[in-house]
Amino acid sequence: MILREMILMPALVIYMILFLAIRKKTSKQKLFVGSMIYFISVFIIMMTLFPMPVDPVVLQNHRDLGLQYTNNIVPFQMMYNIIKSESIAGAIYQIGGNFIMLLPLGYLIPMVTDKKIDLQKAILIMCCIALCIESTQFMIGQILNFNYRCFDIDDIILNASGGILGYIMFTKTYPILNKVFNITYFENENKSTLNNILYSRYFIENE
């Protein structure tokens, strides 16, 4: 069994290598936000892929007992089953947990990109991240010949929706964040827009 705790040390080593490699080329603000994104991503990996059963005896026992998940490609089926069978607290925990999982990434990723991320790009990024998580769970299950986790379209819907909400929250709170973080692509875009306006006025006046 590969436990979640076993991932921490390799993750810290990788972080230190990356930090030393980019610290002189990146602003302190982006290093801080990038570090947050990295450790949130590690936490997501720990929660979605681990613990991972790898002992053949344990896997066979679980197969014999039928202790494996079923993949779901029917939208909203999992959510319906949870609401129908679980308590209110259990439903909130499972559905809410999936919803908020990518919310921090949706909020933080626009702070470290060099170009502005619009809503369409945010939707695409969040859907790709959610799909990557579910696909990885599915592929590991195929390798192990045991669905210790499952591919669930509802997880993709919830994860991506939470990430998109995080992006929307970022766009609404940007004026406050701009006083704290140097989010250059918004500033550059504004300057470019202003220059275009001034150029247009100059051209019209001198036509």
Q: 10-65, pLDDT tens digit by residue?
A: 999 999 999 999 998 888 888 999 999 999 999 999 999 999 999 999 899 988 98
- Give the model's pLDDT for residue 8: 94
CA angle, corner 38, sides to 162 and 146, nearest 5? 70
Give the range of the structural domain holding residue 34, as residue numbers without chain letter.
4-205
- Give the model's pLDDT for residue 55: 92
Q: What distance in Å separates the CA atoms of residue 127 and residue 77, rounded to the nearest whole number?
A: 19
In contact, 80 and 158? CB cutoff 8 Å: no
Q: What is the dihedral of CA 26, 30, 32, 38, to 10 degrees?
A: -100
Residue at 67: amino acid letter: L
pTM of the model: 0.84
- Give the model's pLDDT for residue 182: 59
- Give the model's pLDDT for residue 181: 62
In contact, 29 and 112? CB cutoff 8 Å: no
CB-CB neighbours of 153 under 10 Å: 18
Q: How many domains does the chain have?
A: 1
Q: What is the mean pLDDT of each run of 10 residues along the chain (207 residues)?
A: 91 96 88 95 96 92 90 96 93 96 96 89 97 97 93 98 97 82 50 40 43
- Percentage of the chain lying above the pLDDT 70 cut: 87
- Give the model's pLDDT for residue 116: 86
- Give the model's pLDDT for residue 184: 53
Q: What is the DSSP string of the chain?
A: -B-GGGGHHHHHHHHHHHHHHHTTTS-HHHHHHHHHHHHHHHHHHHHHH-SB---HHHHHHHHHHT-----B-STTHHHHHHHHHS-HHHHHHHHHHHHHSSHHHHHHGGGT-SS---HHHHHHHHHHHHHHHHHHHHHHHHHHTS-SS--BHHHHHHHHHHHHHHHHHHHHHHHHHTTTS--HHHHHHHHHHHHHHHHHHHHHHT-
